[in-house]
Amino acid sequence: MAAYTLSALEADIRSYTEVDSNVLTGAILSRFIENAENRILYDLPMDSDRKMATGNFAVDDNTINNPAGALFVRAVEVFDSTSAVTGNSVFLQKKDVTYLREYVAKLTGKSGGLTGQDVTGQPKYYAMFGGATALTDSTSGGLLLAPTPDTTYAFRIYYNAQPTSLVTSTSGTYLSRYFTTGLLYGCLTEAFGYLKGPMDMLTLYENKYKQEVQKFGGVQIGRRRRDDYTDGTVRIPVNSPSP
């Protein structure tokens, strides 16, 4: 199937449902598309959403902001210098905030949390706090560090980001180019649910969506995460007819 633009996908939704733009307006279809995209996002993490942000810690500041649009952090790499080019790196261990509080308390001999306690050095642990997923770096959520940085160490944050919607990028997105059928079936599930039937059509496209997610998942979290040299060629058993 050819890649979708916004207008082409809207036309197909109306064609499959046999409903015109007087009922399925552009605003309503935009909501269907965004809902389908978000469903795919949470059903199937994709390599296209993997991002990396770089920066330097601030001295005596044990927090950093979430990268713009971050849904979740996959790893934090810290260098033993102020440059990611010249320094040696280690990956921080992800812990809960309670673990960091206990860690600092044991080093300082004090209880009561991280505030006002000075345990400095190259960070070893990080924990998530808040729930910021803004399109710009946000102070309402981020990463808590321990120990507190004693210099401006360079760091890299590896994370998955909220992808751009076809509603915004109308000429095409990763999903509309490489997962066209799954996106269409997800939108049709939304559409038939909105139109309150026919229920057999809603069931049909719900099942088609699930089938496409399973196939696309075999690529995204299967074939894309392995290679023939290190993992061997993927072999699919084919049953032979009984003699």
Query: How many CB atoms are closer than 10 A to CB 155?
Result: 23
Asked whether residue 133 carries a pLDDT value surpassing 70, the answer given is no
Mean pLDDT, residues 201-221: 90
* pLDDT of 114 above 60: no
* Domains of the chain by residue range: 6-46+163-225, 49-161
Q: Average of pLDDT values for 36-57?
A: 91
DSSP collapsed to 3 states, the chain: CCCCCHHHHHHHHHHHHCCCCCCCCHHHHHHHHHHHHHHHHHHCCCHHHEEEEEEECCCCCCEEEECCCEEEEEEEEEECCCCCCCCCEEECEECCHHHHHHHHHHHHCCCCCCCCCCCEECCCEEEEEECCCCCCCEEEEEEEEECEECCCCEEEEEEEECCCCCCCCCCCCHHHHHCHHHHHHHHHHHHHHHCCCCHHHHHHHHHHHHHHHHHHHHHHCCHHHCCHHHHCCCCCCCCCCCC
Q: For residue range 151-165, what is the model confidence (pLDDT) as tens digits?
A: 999 999 999 988 999
In this predicted structure, what is the pLDDT of residue 211? 93
Is pLDDT of 92 > 60?
yes
pLDDT at 192: 96
pTM attached to this predicted model = 0.79
* Greatest mean pLDDT among 109-118, 199-208, 217-226: 199-208
Reported as a pLDDT band with limits 50, 70 and 90, residue 169 is: very high
